Structure 1
């Protein structure tokens, strides 16, 4: 069997110097039927390694209910990497950041106020150890010295930007070795002295995360990692987008120039990302550095392979650079092609969110949070009956804080909404007897001290300063909603200029063969879209993202069904599919 070790100056593959040319590809952001295609195209770029995070909350959304099948089948993903003749790097966290919901940590874990996250707190370490044992049961037999592809395993993730508990890192390292992981162990931090100092330990090989100023960054890394190979294990070749912002791009020429400088210095590299993929479903994270900014559904990242897996200008520029330092296959991937373009009418159904409401908990004085109910994300519907004396002529509804978006109705009539992004906490409401708040969790913070913050309506609801009590709460089962809309009768196509939400709409369309598609959401307000029951993710007129990517495996020859849950208002009741993605105006 082969060996992989760290020498005085180089990585050593079977005792010989070896440069890692890797690309980040998150299995949980790509439809599993597309894994092999993306891995192969990474190899044709000239890469010899695939790196992936492991998202704990994807595998164990409910405590004790571990799932490593389907889109969570890490073992199959690593086997496909091996089948392509490539190596693998596994980064199991437990914290991953990655612009992923809650930074990868399960909500059932972060909801425990007694746990000190990412520290040597014994209760936290016990949970993490159990998680890592399950991951390493998959990774252990797939290490290089056992005939598999795995050559490196990372401990934690950019820990120096968060804490300095060296005992915690020691415990993670011990758990990893005790689980039978024998390949070299690494850490990653931004090349800042304090971060590199606090984020690693002797016995862990420190690497850097950066996308520019290569010479300076490598020099700082070398000051802290005195021996062994230098590696940028997150070479930022693009960036992520958030709702209300711009679509971030980086010049292919500039990125290629930085990659060339990195390889010319003899360093190893992991492109972050080689293919970003999609935050399908309810998996997007959020940032909060003074303002809450939820991440878009698309995780295109302006990567060499775009959201649909097509090679971009950056792909070819990177391939030319890599060819100067390593053999590149003669074979090249097929160029991007336009996807089917067509338009079909959207027709409303009589299905309401209440039809998919599942009551949770008892009557409460304050609306319970998602965390109190053990619900990671989605929609909660809170209802309370008012005495006439409470709201005789209307008044001001105020919430301590909305996390993250709420639509307010009185006696079944929509009267307004509150947005965390806009800092809204109050609005005028008319007189009525029943008040309802439909609350959306838009993405949990994935970086910094706000990880694990409570979601929902925080600190109660008041009318003209008086607390509103007697709340009943239900979660909206989005999958059940999509099924109900798919099966419900629809009216003939309508000519209305708009629909007010919440409303379930449906369209059917025919395909000659399964195909990737780009669903245009221009003219839609805010909500969720499904194709054949597959939750594509969130859309929002707040932009920048305009199209939702429909992966080919979610479609089929013949009749396909699109379901839309419009929560706000829709001015264009049609479903239009475009030949290519539209991710919004670029950052200049």
Structure 2
């Protein structure tokens, strides 16, 4: 394609994805210290680099490939928990054959602590004010070395319950122009943001926990679906004026289709589905998601975990739940436990009664100093009237493709007038011609996950801001397409499709 590559091999990359791209099985070690020279972490990094660099090294520019530079970790100056860590990562890359220019990348909070001997420091920013401050610092430490804005943030990501963040296109053009006037190279983050398909979204947890929405549109230069924006046209004209060479015609866009609504006609409650799943884990105490003895010892990474035990009295239920736990007495929902609600009242029960807690991993923190504390599920004991509950049956509900293969057609039933939730709803999208991109709208539904032909499209939640899910045409087949919705609390009459995305109430970034 004629594109040069600046490679960010990690192991931590941030990018608003779960745990910054680190695998959750690392957290099985109770003493794990991520992004440090802790032995348990470096052993995993060494193994990862052994495999990855064997593929990367031949693709470097000096070997005739497109890779012209390699970034050492990402924004470590903002984390900075181990002064030996960045030199270790740099040496690990060089020892495995990396010979191209090495870079670091830091924002205003970490630039001073992120500088690494033998690597070119670059900066991440959004405003012209930041540009002046950070450029002055780079000049003071690097003198006449090249300057680069590794990440110019063309927009921003969104969190559930917040607004859809946007950055004015005129502001983007002014800042890009100022960056080039300052003699700096530039990388647009994001040029195209894309989508947090499945459960891969990350989260932030400073004053409060906030998980990222499924869309990673980012208000970027291209939309989530790859369409042009005002930013695209302004930047195209601007860069074209600098090159002095006519730019090639821009590619034509593929159409978007508003398909006919899908009305689910079959249903399977979670409680009925349990009998068709793998045997639950039996444990005297709750076990967090990552430490469950499933997936060949790798634990559970994503999705939901269901904890069941037996109680014989009412009272106050309390415990540490990460991230959101819906509590059931038998099959009746009695409330939620989460970061804000650490206690709920269990109503009067008669005799031995099944207590169930359905815990969702909403996304592990990808940026911040608390990434070691990202285990999900029930964390430690759960208490009823201050007494720890015992003898749990634990179901791993990762909702991968193999998960749904257990639900053959004969397991489903017609949708009753009053469905029992949580539940799976099954419908079919019929496409007579070649499929194209579309946007799915779940008006009347509350919170859950959508699966298309067995693939996890992502989460929806009526608290917004995101109102539609981007569904690529490449996910669809000509003919019948299976649509499954896992809904936690309230189902709408249909699943609608539209030609245009609705990402929610907009808020301009300062």
| TM-score (normalizing by structure 1) | 0.80
Q: What residue number does 2:296 align with?
A: none
In the alignment, the residues of structure 1 paired with residue 420 and residue 159 of structure 2 have an alpha-carbon distance, to the nearest angstrom, of 25
Q: What residue number does 1:441 align with?
A: 361
> Structure 1 residue aligned with 2:437, among 493, 516, 519?
516
> Structure 2 residue aligned with 1:369, among 288, 292, 308?
288
> Structure 2 residue aligned with 1:419, among 321, 338, 359?
338
Say how many residue pairs are matched: 492
Q: What residue number does 1:292 align with?
A: 209
Deviation, 1:274, is: 0.8
Q: What residue number does 2:489 align with?
A: 568
What does 1:541-560 correspond to in 2, within 5 Å?
541-560=462-481
Q: What residue number does 1:189 align with?
A: 106
Residues 1:500 and 1:577: Cα distance change in structure 2 (over 3 Å): farther
For the Cα contact (< 8 Å) 2:165–2:506, is it kept in 1?
A: yes
Q: Which has the higher contact order (CA 8 A, sep 6+)?
A: 2
What does 1:395-406 correspond to in 2, within 5 Å?
395-398=315-318, 400-406=319-325
**1:474-516: CA deviations, max 9, x gaps?**
112413453355734766677x5x7452111111121111221
In the alignment, the residues of structure 2 paired with residue 328 and residue 133 of structure 1 have an alpha-carbon distance, to the nearest angstrom, of 44
What does 1:170-181 correspond to in 2, within 5 Å?
170-181=87-98
**1:444-466: CA deviations, max 9, x gaps?**
01111221322111232222222
Query: RMSD of aligned C-alpha atoms?
Result: 2.1
Q: What residue number does 2:404 align with?
A: 482
Query: 4+ residue stretches of structure 1 with deviation over 6 A?
Result: none
For the Cα contact (< 8 Å) 2:305–2:358, is it kept in 1?
A: yes
For the Cα contact (< 8 Å) 2:105–2:150, is it kept in 1?
A: yes
Q: What residue number does 1:11 align with?
A: none
For the residue of structure 1 that corresponds to 2:372, the secondary structure is coil
In the alignment, the residues of structure 1 paired with residue 331 and residue 136 of structure 2 have an alpha-carbon distance, to the nearest angstrom, of 63
What does 1:52-201 correspond to in 2, within 5 Å?
84-163=1-80, 165-192=82-109, 195-201=110-116
Deviation, 1:370, is: 0.9
Residues 1:573 and 1:161: Cα distance change in structure 2 (over 3 Å): same
In the alignment, the residues of structure 2 paired with residue 521 and residue 219 of structure 1 have an alpha-carbon distance, to the nearest angstrom, of 49
In the alignment, the residues of structure 2 paired with residue 328 and residue 149 of structure 1 have an alpha-carbon distance, to the nearest angstrom, of 24
**1:515-557: CA deviations, max 9, x gaps?**
2121102211111111111110111112111111112211011
> Structure 2 residue aligned with 1:324, among 216, 241, 251?
241
Deviation, 1:565, is: 0.8
For the residue of structure 2 that corresponds to 1:574, the secondary structure is coil
Q: What residue number does 2:230 align with?
A: 313
Is 1:236 the counterpart of 2:153? The answer is yes
Q: Which runs of 5+ in 2 are unaligned?
A: 293-298
**Greater CA deviation, 149-158 or 546-555?**
546-555
In the alignment, the residues of structure 1 paired with residue 72 and residue 275 of structure 2 have an alpha-carbon distance, to the nearest angstrom, of 45
Is 1:253 the counterpart of 2:165? The answer is no
Is 1:207 the counterpart of 2:141? The answer is no
Deviation, 1:266, is: 2.2
In the alignment, the residues of structure 2 paired with residue 361 and residue 381 of structure 1 have an alpha-carbon distance, to the nearest angstrom, of 10
In the alignment, the residues of structure 1 paired with residue 149 and residue 170 of structure 2 have an alpha-carbon distance, to the nearest angstrom, of 19
In the alignment, the residues of structure 1 paired with residue 233 and residue 166 of structure 2 have an alpha-carbon distance, to the nearest angstrom, of 16
In the alignment, the residues of structure 2 paired with residue 157 and residue 137 of structure 1 have an alpha-carbon distance, to the nearest angstrom, of 21
Q: What residue number does 2:305 align with?
A: 380
For the Cα contact (< 8 Å) 1:358–1:476, is it kept in 2?
A: no
| TM-score (normalizing by structure 2) | 0.91
Deviation, 1:222, is: 2.0
For the Cα contact (< 8 Å) 1:207–1:231, is it kept in 2?
A: yes
Residues 1:122 and 1:473: Cα distance change in structure 2 (over 3 Å): closer
Residues 1:218 and 1:501: Cα distance change in structure 2 (over 3 Å): same
Is 1:537 the counterpart of 2:458? The answer is yes
Deviation, 1:107, is: 1.3
Residues 1:241 and 1:407: Cα distance change in structure 2 (over 3 Å): same
Deviation, 1:121, is: 2.9
In the alignment, the residues of structure 1 paired with residue 219 and residue 331 of structure 2 have an alpha-carbon distance, to the nearest angstrom, of 43
Deviation, 1:95, is: 1.2
In the alignment, the residues of structure 1 paired with residue 199 and residue 310 of structure 2 have an alpha-carbon distance, to the nearest angstrom, of 31
Deviation, 1:124, is: 2.5
Q: What residue number does 1:339 align with?
A: 257
Deviation, 1:226, is: 2.0
In the alignment, the residues of structure 2 paired with residue 110 and residue 424 of structure 1 have an alpha-carbon distance, to the nearest angstrom, of 23
Residues 1:270 and 1:500: Cα distance change in structure 2 (over 3 Å): farther
**1:9-67: CA deviations, max 9, x gaps?**
xxxxxxxxxxxxxxxxxxxxxxxxxxxxxxxxxxxxxxxxxxxxxxxxxxxxxxxxxxx
For the residue of structure 1 that corresponds to 2:358, the secondary structure is strand
In the alignment, the residues of structure 2 paired with residue 456 and residue 556 of structure 1 have an alpha-carbon distance, to the nearest angstrom, of 36
For the Cα contact (< 8 Å) 1:155–1:185, is it kept in 2?
A: yes
In the alignment, the residues of structure 2 paired with residue 293 and residue 554 of structure 1 have an alpha-carbon distance, to the nearest angstrom, of 29
Deviation, 1:402, is: 1.4
In the alignment, the residues of structure 1 paired with residue 198 and residue 37 of structure 2 have an alpha-carbon distance, to the nearest angstrom, of 33
